[in-house]
Structure formats: C-alpha cells, structure tokens
C-alpha cells in the first residue's frame, strides 16, 4: 500500500491533469451544466464519480454539493467545483449554482435518494424541475417516495477507461484505508430527458 506522501503526490498530479482537461473542455462551444448532490464526498464518488468525470471531459460544467463538511480534494480530482449543500439550500440553490459560466439552473441534476427523501427544500426543488420538464433528474438509490419513484426509469452509465482510473484515485483520496473496486457501470434512475442521457446513459 502506498504511503501518505505517495498518495498526496498522486492526488496533486491527478488534479493538475484534470484541471488541464477542464480548461480545454471549457473552450468548447456548448456548455451543459450538471449538479450532483450527495450526503458525503465518498458517496458521490462511489455512486456517480464516473458520470461526473465523463461529463466534465465532454465539456460540461460540473458542480457537486455535499451535505457533510468534508475535504473537497477527492472530488476536485474528478474535475468538479465543490459546494456545501446546506449553505446552498439556505441561501438559495439557484444562486449557489450561478457563476461566470453558469445560468441559475443546471440541465441535469444527479441526487442521492436519501437526500430527496429527508430534505423538504430539496424535494420541492426537484419536483418543480420535473414539472417544468427542462431539467433531467437522475437519482441513485430508492427514495421510498412513490410520487418520484414512479416517474423515473432505470439506466446505467458506462464509465470510460479514464473515468475508472480517476474514480479509483478519488476513492483512495476519500477513504485511504478502504480498498474499493471500481465497476464498469454506475446505475441510476432518470426522468428520461435526452439532454443527460443522449449517447452516454443507457436506459433499460
């Protein structure tokens, strides 16, 4: 097992490489926006790390919002901007997602089912987005809320080789003492808009 200095060096190198790819991606004409909301850094990486990395590499602007107050560096390895979820919800999620290259609402939102079930503010925002039909809602896990579960269809994301490599590095950074295999796919359920699923996510 590599020592802490070797892990830190790998993380720094990974972040530099991702930042370079992100700068190149930002020069592309089309800038879709993806927001990923999860309870912990490790949960986001484990369940959606490959998807958010592949979206970033495809030129999307990716923001992660994390419920716990943890080290943002593991998510930065995957090329994402990291925000505190509670602060964003308290101030207004739309405002938090706004920056120089963001409009107030993303084209796709990936969210942990447990957050949807437990936070009424988040649940209200997701339901409004579904009603408008302009934002693809993608969820991992089962919320237990019939009104949302019945509107989502199963899908999976096939990770690129690069996504698997960087996801493994991010998982190591998030939990250095835990060895976790990276699978070739990530499983979700989606509202089935083509904006997030076209060409990358496969519905079943």
* Domain segments of the chain as ranges: 4-197
What local confidence, expressed as pLDDT, does residue 102 receive? Answer: 45
Name the CA radius of gyration of the chain, rounded: 16
pLDDT in tens, 183-197: 999 999 998 765 545
CA dihedral 121, 127, 129, 132 (to 10 degrees): -140
Q: Which residues contact 186 (CB under 8 A, 6 or more apart)?
A: 47, 48, 49, 50, 51, 140, 156, 157, 159
pLDDT in tens, 97-106: 554 444 557 8
Q: CATH for 4-197?
A: 3.40.50
> For residue 46, what are the CA distances in angstroms to 114, 121, 171?
15, 25, 7
The span from the CA of 39 to the CA of 37, in Å, is 7
pLDDT in tens, 160-178: 999 999 999 999 999 887 7
């Amino acid at each position: 097992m590599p020592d802490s200095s070797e892990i830190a060096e790998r993380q720094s190198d990974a972040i530099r490489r991702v930042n370079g790819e992100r700068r190149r991606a930002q020069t592309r004409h089309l800038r879709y926006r993806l927001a990923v909301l999860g309870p912990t850094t490790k949960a986001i990486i484990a369940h959606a790390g490959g998807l958010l990395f592949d979206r970033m590499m495809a030129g999307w602007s990716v923001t992660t919002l994390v419920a716990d107050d943890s080290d943002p560096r593991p998510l930065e390895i995957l090329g994402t901007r990291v925000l505190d979820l509670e602060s964003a919800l308290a101030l207004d999620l739309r405002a938090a997602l706004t920056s120089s290259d963001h409009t107030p609402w993303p084209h796709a939102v990936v969210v942990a089912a447990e957050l949807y079930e437990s936070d009424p503010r988040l649940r209200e925002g997701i339901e409004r987005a579904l009603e408008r039909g302009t934002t693809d809602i993608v969820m991992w896990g089962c919320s237990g809320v019939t009104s949302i579960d019945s509107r989502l269809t199963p899908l999976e994301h096939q990770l690129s080789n690069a996504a698997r490599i960087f996801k493994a590095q991010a998982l190591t950074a998030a939990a250095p003492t835990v060895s976790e295999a990276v699978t070739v796919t990530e499983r979700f359920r989606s509202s089935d808009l083509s904006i997030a699923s076209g060409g990358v996510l496969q519905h079943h």
